[in-house]
Amino acid sequence: MGRMGNQMFQYACAKNLELQGGFVCSLDDISKLEYFELAPNERRKNRFKEKFFFHVAKRLYGMEVHNLQFEDMHGDFRAWLFGLKKPSMIWGYFQSESYFAQSAAQIRQYFSVKRQYQSGFTDFLQKHGLEPGSYAAVHIRRTDYKNFTVKGLEGDDFTLPDSFYDKGMELLQGQFGGKVVIASDDAGFCKERYGGNPSVIISDCDAITDFQLLSHAAALLISNSTYAWWAAWLNEKATHIYCPKYFLGFKEHKEVPVNIYPGHWTQIAV
All structural domains of the chain: 4-110 (no CATH), 116-268 (3.40.50.2000)
What whole-number distance in Å separates Cα of residue 135 and Cα of residue 11?
A: 30
Report the pLDDT value the prediction gives residue 46, as an integer from 0 to 100.
82
- 3: helix, coil or strand? coil
What angle (nearest 5°) sits at the alpha carbon of residue 71, between those of residues 65 and 74? Answer: 145
**pTM for this model (two decimals):** 0.94
* Number of other CB atoms surrounding residue 151 within 10 Å: 10
pLDDT mean values, one per 10 residues, the chain (270 residues) = 93 96 90 95 84 65 80 90 88 95 98 98 98 96 92 91 94 88 96 93 97 97 98 96 97 96 96
pLDDT at 61: 65
**Residues 92/71, Cβ–Cβ less than 8 Å:** yes
